[in-house]
């Protein structure tokens, strides 16, 4: 028996601790923005262009304990289910992110969370630029360290060489290290034990928790998802689904 599981847990815990220690102010800024938006019965959009970064947008959408006002942009282009190599090629295609944002129908005053492990790919940067031009308030969740340390001529980069954290209104740093993986297994060619999915999930769920806390302080009760597999889940969700069917595109 090895101690690799314990090493991995320790490294992940340290990463989550770093996010907790350094991002409190940014998370609260995001939570206040979301609380204002949801309190006004407006949707919060989330988009995670990039193979596994799509998981982040799904993490807080249609999720037990989550806000029904969260609307994920589930574009098939960069999803691994459409083909992993195809996904990588699409996320590196300049202009693609603008097409997705245009198709999502966002407009001035909307809120969009953009989440990506590294914060540099072309689809992501175009989505941020396109949203900003529309007057959409943008929130970024990504690793500043990874973006800053990635060569300006890396093939994943947008032609402008810009980083997500420089473009959004508020940025939450996930501190994902270069390469994403945390553990070097002796004899293995590369490090393993990826961390970006954990980091993105922690940051996003923390934001939702703080948003709910602010709404509760204001006495605002908002629709939330209950697990459909829990007792009474279908009945609880059915109370509100009619309000969001048609508003939330991928519901």
Q: What is the pLDDT of residue 118?
A: 92
Assign 182 a pLDDT band (cuts: 50, 70, 90): very high
pLDDT above 90 covers what percent of the chain? 93
Pair 111, 104: CB distance under 8 Å: no
Pick 219 or 228 by higher pLDDT: 219
* pLDDT, tens digit, 9 for 90 and up, residues 136-152: 999 999 999 999 999 99
Q: What is the pLDDT of residue 180?
A: 93
Q: What is the pLDDT of residue 157?
A: 93
> What domains can you pick out in the chain, each with its CATH number?
4-244 (3.40.50.10490)
Assign 2 a pLDDT band (cuts: 50, 70, 90): confident
CA distance 194 to 211: 28
Q: What is the pLDDT of residue 60?
A: 96
Q: What is the pLDDT of residue 237?
A: 92
Smallest Cα–Cα separation from 103: which of 119, 126, 70? 126
* pLDDT, tens digit, 9 for 90 and up, residues 86-135: 999 999 999 999 999 999 999 999 999 999 999 999 999 999 999 999 99
Pair 79, 54: CB distance under 8 Å: yes
Beta carbons within 8 Å of 21's beta carbon, 6+ residues apart = none
Pair 57, 72: CB distance under 8 Å: yes
What value does the mean pLDDT take over residues 209-215? Answer: 98
- Average pLDDT of the chain is 95
Q: Where are the beta strands (DSSP E) in 37-123?
A: 44-47, 70-72, 111-115
Q: Token digits for 3? A: 């101690």
Assign 51 a pLDDT band (cuts: 50, 70, 90): confident
Please check the confidence at residue 1 and state whether its pLDDT lies above 70. Answer: no
What value does the mean pLDDT take over residues 153-177? Answer: 95
């Amino acid at each position: 028996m090895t101690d690799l599981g314990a090493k991995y847990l320790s490294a992940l815990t340290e990463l989550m601790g770093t996010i907790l220690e350094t991002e409190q102010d940014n998370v609260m800024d995001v939570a206040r923005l979301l609380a204002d938006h949801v309190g006004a019965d407006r949707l919060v959009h989330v988009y995670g262009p990039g193979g596994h970064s799509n998981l982040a947008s799904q993490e807080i959408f249609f999720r037990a304990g989550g806000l029904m006002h969260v609307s994920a942009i589930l574009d098939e282009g960069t999803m691994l289910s459409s083909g992993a190599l195809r996904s990588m090629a699409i996320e590196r295609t300049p202009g693609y992110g603008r097409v997705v944002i245009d198709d999502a129908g966002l407009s001035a005053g909307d809120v969009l969370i953009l989440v990506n492990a590294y914060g540099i790919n072309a689809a992501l940067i175009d989505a941020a630029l396109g949203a900003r031009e529309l007057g959409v308030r943008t929130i970024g969740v990504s690793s500043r360290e990874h973006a800053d340390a990635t060569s300006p001529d890396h093939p994943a980069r947008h032609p402008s060489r810009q980083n997500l954290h420089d473009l959004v209104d508020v940025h939450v740093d996930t501190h994902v290290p270069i390469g994403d993986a945390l553990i070097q297994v002796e004899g293995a060619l590369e490090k393993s034990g990826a961390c970006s999915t954990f980091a993105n999930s922690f940051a996003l769920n923390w934001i939702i928790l703080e948003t709910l806390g602010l709404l509760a302080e204001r006495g605002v009760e908002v629709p939330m998802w209950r697990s459909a597999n829990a007792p009474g889940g279908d009945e609880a969700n059915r109370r509100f689904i009619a309000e969001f069917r048609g508003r939330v595109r991928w519901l």
